[in-house]
Amino acid sequence: MIAKKVLLVGNFGVGKTSLIRRFVLNEFSEDYISTIGVRVSKKVVEYNNDSIKLMIWDVAGTNGNEKIPKTYFLGAHAAMFVFDLSREETYLTIEENLNMVKDLSGLKEITIVGNKKDLLTAEELNNVLNVVSVDVDLVTSAKENDNVESAFMKLTAQTLK
Amino acid sequence: MIPAKININFIQITTDFSGIITSVDAGEFAKKEFFVTTTIFDTCPFLEGTLEGLIIAESVLLEGMVIVSDNVEYNVDIELLKNENSVEVLILNRTNVYKIVDQLNQNRNDLFFVKREIAEKNKELDRLRKIADKANEEKSRFLAMMSHEIRNPLNAILGYAEMIAAETLNKNVEKYIKHLSYSGKNLKVIVDDILDLSRIEAGKLVLVNEEMSIENIYQNCEDTYKNQQKNTDVKLVFSVDKEIPKTILGDSVRLHQILSNLIGNAIKFTQQGSVTISATPVLTSNKEYVNILFTVTDTGRGMSKEQAVKIFEEYQQNKISDNRVHGGAGLGLAIVNRLVTAMNGKINLESELNKGTSFFIEIPFKKIEDKKLKNIAVSKTECSIKNKRILVADDDLLNQTIVAHYLKKQQANSTIVSDGLEALEKIESEVFDVILLDINMPNMTGEELVTKNKSFLKFNSTTPILALTANATKEDIKRYKKAGFLDVISKPFTSKKFVEKICSVLFS
Ligand SMILES: Nc1nc2c(ncn2[C@@H]2O[C@H](COP(=O)(O)OP(=O)(O)OP(=O)(O)O)[C@@H](O)[C@H]2O)c(=O)[nH]1
Ligand SMILES: [Mg+2]
């Protein structure tokens, strides 16, 4: 079985751990326990009739333009940048942050996910998406299990490119 | 030989490129998890994929990884070095360090979210406050407008009552007209109170800081109340302590209002005994200010503790079954309270049912430096406007009649017109000693008229112009003066006030 290493990065508290928990264990918790360093989870996914073992790196959230250690990206096949739709500061400088991730990882494309969709009305969501200066791949809710699977499928697809 | 303490905190392993352990080289940390020929990925899943990214002879540090040994989680740092055909893996146990980092990090993030929550709550509070402020402003504006609307007709009522009273009347009518005047005046006090309160609430009440004499104010109150006082069973005693400076800086009108309210109340509820009104200095260390304690003590009916607590609340009246307790609209004490607060003062009361009530008010007043001391002249010259040529423009027939009557009584030479255009015609063709203009008039308002400088040139270039209006807020008056009015006679007015105002501009 082929293994693919993927990373989830983004500001602290945006819901990286929650997305992974939802995807891997189908669980969600309202508690916020900040991730330290890195937690790695495994999940086997079916993609185009292939079984792929995803090694999912849950990287500690950053604050502002704090750097992620470059070595984390060694051998990575794809990365997801998560921001919090309900917190402006997690997406206002998204372009800059994405470029930094691209530089560090050498990856050409990053999957961009806006999480905590459940906290916004349709109108608010629209407004946020208008403000975000890059194309958002998916908006998700780890809490309501909305689009989480799709987000990781999109990420898996990236690993195969 | 590596000391045991260090030994148990690291382990060094060699694997092939696919993660199969080829040897355990040194150290004791989590030793149980690593056996030759098994995969290192079971314990170190983070190496799966990562190993593929290594470059030969380039050492790599992975900080903050997690491994599990014997069901215990450890935070570890990993050093990797890829050789020609093997990978050296050094695992360092850093659990103790990360425990602290973890704490700090969690605190930082929690703090962040708490701060955010507070910021959001503040935003919400701010929004709610703005709504409340706006509603309050609306209320004040409404009250101010209403009392203004009431003032105009009230002026007519009071004026006519005064006119009727001056006629020869039969006993009954005389009695009725007295009641009418009395009620009218009461109504005026209420309307003024409402206006005052709404002004204070809207932050529009500006206190002045002028030289004033407590003694004069007391004298004034004494004269007024002793004159009014018909009940010989109640003695009025006024006293001002000699130690109080002769002149200080403050707002005499508002202080008078405070005292009048309290004295009026005290008299109203005292059937027998005395009402004592005193002023004494309070010792403080402040050299710039003198604190004065005003006391109004009566031997009246007093009040219960419950009543005393609520006494300064607005409209308190309506809630007490005995709504005669404070007369008026029950705004008097609310105003007193606010005025005292606005003067940075304190108000207290002591009361006992059927024994009496004492109000204590302490207010700081700025002292006047000796050299700046001026004598406050209390001059009152009788003046006459006999034969003065006076133009009056007012569209309200009732007001016209009243003004005409007042002027006739003074034997002035009056010309009365009923709108701005008519007034303009007169101004362009005759000389006047004083011109009185209503503000709200059809065709041309008083404000418009007063700015037509050219029309005044020929005959009335120096004639003082007064505004006759019920719009008498500070801002209004300021605006009128800026437009060209010398002063304002605010409605409702008594004949005395009316003539005094005219005199003041004629002979100043
Ligand atoms: N309403 C809502 N809350 C969410 C969602 N996802 C996560 N949260 C909450 O957001 C908080 C942070 O979630 P985490 O998953 O710990 O965030 P993180 O990105 O891993 O944070 P760090 O590890 O500090 O970088 C937690 O209280 C979660 O319950 C979501 O989709 N909707
Ligand atoms: Mg996390």
Mean pLDDT per 10-residue interval, chain B, length 508 residues: 79 96 95 95 95 94 94 95 96 93 84 86 92 84 78 84 85 85 77 76 75 88 81 90 91 87 88 93 86 94 82 56 48 85 91 91 87 46 80 86 87 90 90 90 85 85 88 79 88 82 82
Using the beta-carbon criterion (under 8 Å), do A37 and B63 form an inter-chain contact? yes
DSSP for B411-443?
T-EEEEESSHHHHHHHHHH---SEEEEESS-SS
The answer to whether the beta carbons of residues B8 and B31 sit under 8 Å apart is no
Q: What average pLDDT does the segment A29-54 reach? A: 92
Task: For tokens 């056996």, name the residue.
Answer: B35
Q: Is A143 in the pocket of ligand 1 (CB under 6 A)?
A: yes
Scored b (16 or more CB within 10 A) or e, B129-144 reads eeeeeeeeeeebeebb
Residues 6+ apart with CB under 8 A from B57: B81, B82, B83
Whole-number pLDDT of residue B381: 52
Whole-number pLDDT of residue B56: 94
ipTM score assigned to the predicted complex: 0.91
Using the beta-carbon criterion (under 8 Å), do B60 and A72 form an inter-chain contact? no
In DSSP terms, B350 is beta-bridged to B358
C-alpha distances in Å from residue A67, one per residue of A62, B136, B228, B249: 7, 51, 85, 65
Whole-number pLDDT of residue B325: 43
Scored b (16 or more CB within 10 A) or e, B246-256 reads ebbbbbbebbb
Domain B8-93 has CATH 3.30.450.20: yes
Whole-number pLDDT of residue B203: 67
Residues 6+ apart with CB under 8 A from B187: B150, B154
In DSSP terms, B363 is beta-bridged to B292
The structure tokens listed for B398 are 């009732």
Whole-number pLDDT of residue B211: 86
Using the beta-carbon criterion (under 8 Å), do A3 and B48 form an inter-chain contact? yes
Whole-number pLDDT of residue B329: 54
Q: Does B101 touch chain A (CB under 8 A)?
A: yes
Chain A residue with CA closest to B66: the answer is: A39
Would you tell me which residues 16-55 of chain A have a C-beta closer than 8 angstroms to some C-beta of chain B? 32-34, 36-40, 42, 55
Q: Which ligand is nearest to the CA of A29?
A: 1
In terms of pLDDT, which residue wins out, A9 or B288? A9
Chain B residue with CA closest to A7: the answer is: B46
Whole-number pLDDT of residue A116: 97
The residue whose C-alpha atom lies closest to atom 21 belonging to ligand 1 is A13
Closest by Cβ to B50, choosing from A5, A60, A69: A5
Least confident of A72-76, A136-140, B315-319: B315-319
The structure tokens listed for B86 are 């093997």
Residues 6+ apart with CB under 8 A from B209: B249, B250, B251, B366
Distance CA B469, CA B101 (A): 74
Closest by Cβ to A37, choosing from B60, B66, B110: B66
Select from B136, B275, B283, B277 the least CA-distant residue to B215: B277
Residue ranges per domain, chain B? 8-93, 100-179, 205-374, 381-506
Distance CA B259, CA A142 (A): 68
Q: Mind telling me how many Å the CA of A123 is from chain B's nearest CA? A: 20
The answer to whether the beta carbons of residues B91 and B29 sit under 8 Å apart is yes
Ligand 1 centroid to residue A32 C-alpha, Å: 6
Task: Label each residue of B470-484 as H, E or C.
Answer: CCCCHHHHHHHHHHC
The answer to whether the beta carbons of residues A75 and A5 sit under 8 Å apart is yes
Note the CATH architecture for domain B381-506. 3-Layer(aba) Sandwich (3.40)
Chain A residue with CA closest to B64: the answer is: A37
Distance CA B55, CA B33 (A): 26
Ligand 2 centroid to residue B461 C-alpha, Å: 83
Under CATH, what is the fold of the domain B205-374?
A: Heat Shock Protein 90 (3.30.565)
Q: What is the pTM of this model?
A: 0.55
Q: Which residues of A touch B52 (CB under 8 A)?
A: 75
- Give the orientation angle of helix B95-166 with respect to helix B171-201, to 10 degrees: 160
Chain A residue with CA closest to B80: the answer is: A71
pLDDT greater than 60 at residue A9: yes
Q: Is B78 exposed, middle or buried (0-12, 13-18, 19+ CB in 10 A)?
A: buried
Whole-number pLDDT of residue B202: 66
User: Rounded to the nearest 5 degrees, what angle is found at the Cα of A17, between the Cα atoms of A11 and A21?
Assistant: 155
Whole-number pLDDT of residue B507: 76
DSSP at B48? T
Given phi > 0 = left and psi -120 to 50 = alpha, else beta, which region is B503? Answer: alpha
Task: For tokens 């607590």, name the residue.
Answer: B309
Q: Which ligand is nearest to the CA of A14?
A: 1
Whole-number pLDDT of residue B332: 80
Whole-number pLDDT of residue B323: 44
Q: Which ligand is nearest to the CA of A10?
A: 1
Whole-number pLDDT of residue B324: 45
Instruction: Please name the helix (run of DSSP H) or strand (run of DSSP E) that holds residue B78, with its range, or none.
Output: strand B72-82
The answer to whether the beta carbons of residues A76 and A102 sit under 8 Å apart is no
